[in-house]
Amino acid sequence: MSGAGRNIALYPWFKFFQNLLFWQAIWFLFLQSELSAAQAILFYAIYDITTTVLEVPSGYFSDRWGRRTTLIASASAGLLSGVLFALGEGFWVFALAQFALGAHIALASGTDSAILYESLAEEGRAEEVETQEIRAWRFSFLALAVSAAAGGVMALYGLRLPFAASAAAFGMLVVIAIRFSEPGCARRVRGEAERLDALRKAMFHPVLAWLLALSVLFYGFGHLPFVFGQPFILDVLGGSGFIAEAAVVSGVVTTLMMLVSVAASWLAPGARRWLGLKCLLLLAFCIQILLAAGLAVFGNVPAVLLLLLRKVPDSLAQPFIAARIQPILEDEMRATYISLRNLVARLFFAASLLLVSVNASEVGAMAIEEIQAILAVYAAFGVVCLAILAMTGRSLGSGGRD
């Protein structure tokens, strides 16, 4: 098998081990047991803010010095994060772990999709990019499903155990990254002025500009249930006295969420052909808004059931967004552009969380009523943005019905 062919075969497994996040079902519960509500929200904002240090530089590093090297560094940072969370003590050690996790995400963002597309192009299979991206998303969701349930059970024996299991998964990620080969398809070193000019043109490309705005909103609204969903589960169970049970229930809910998303991914190609790309993406964003609005209106069991839909929009949109932008971008700035896009999305969401944390309770867990008020504001803002997106952006011109 050629190096590019091996990359294509390994890529879904890279995404699988990258998403074995056993701590996902218990992280907010853990923080709320250790910190005030405002500190818990701020701690998540720290993760997003720290990615600003490496997000764009990591994209440039990938474009300048290679996909394989960048992914090895990403996997190593993830391993460090898992080890620090599992073994560390104190706020500053956890802050360093958050920084390492942010570095892992920043170094991988853009580079993972880039190595897939460039390997496909090298093999003469660039037209398979949508199919391969969807396949990788299924591996990601399956990993999230498996690790969520297992992590919830692990939490019964200690809230640090899920972090240790994730560290082991990141160890496997390092092994896979080492096995990647650097794509050799038609990439050439250009002067920095030419590179910056290509990036500037990409930022003003009509299709890319519309998808950039959507992606920024998509990131924020997709993370709202992640940040604020677990307290609903705790409320259903009767309060902080049931935090261990909440970890298990949260893991089960997250597993069901991912399985629903896997099912949605099988329907996504048909919906893409039937609705066209723009309508499908707007539908996915609409689901995110409705989810935030539903959590703002309903409490207890209905809210928990709504959480099952959290990842459905990702199944309907993210693989197609990744596949649509790749042919437009030039090899020498592909990862830089995607990193810049992700940076803007994270900054936008982190800024919104900082505003929320200013007005959050300084003592104890955040009340459900307080969370619902926050989500109602987000939902109203989303409706306005959805209307603007619907009125702008003509055909996305990716072939087929758009």
Q: Where in the chain are the domains?
A: 3-181+198-391
pLDDT tops 50 at residue 400: no
Q: What is the mean pLDDT of residues 321-333?
A: 86
- The closest of 314, 335, 316 to 325, measured between CA atoms, is 335
Amino acid symbol at 3 = G
Distance CA 207, CA 68 (A): 29
Q: What is the pLDDT of residues 137-146, one digit of tens each?
A: 899 989 988 8
When pLDDT is averaged across residues 98-104 and rounded to a whole number, the result is: 87
Residue 384: the pLDDT is 96
Average pLDDT, the chain: 82
State which amino acid sits at residue 194.
E
pLDDT score of 48 more than 80: no
Q: Which of 42-51, 61-70, 226-235, 243-252 has the highest mean pLDDT?
A: 61-70
What is the number of other CB atoms lying within 10 angstroms of the CB of residue 242?
16
State how far Cα 272 lies from the chain centre.
21
3 state DSSP class of 287 = helix
State the helix-helix crossing angle for 312-325 and 277-297, rounded to 10 degrees.
150
Cα(287)–Cα(385) distance, rounded to whole angstroms? 13
pLDDT of 56 > 80? The answer is no
Report helix, strand or coil for 325.
helix
- Contact status, residue 341 vs residue 215, Cβ threshold 8 Å: yes
The phi and psi torsions of 100 (rounded to 5 degrees) equal -65, -40
Under 8 Å between Cβ of 147 and 20:
yes
Architecture, CATH, for domain 3-181+198-391: Up-down Bundle (1.20)
pLDDT at 361 over 60: no
In Å, the largest CA–CA distance within the chain is 61
With 70 as the cut, is the pLDDT of residue 187 above it? no
Q: Which two tokens stand for residue 271?
A: 């919906």
d(C-alpha 84, C-alpha 115), whole Å: 29
pLDDT value for 168: 96
Which residues 6+ apart lie within 8 Å of 216 measured at CB?
A: 341, 344, 345, 348
- Interval 17-39: pLDDT, tens: 999 999 887 776 666 666 666 66
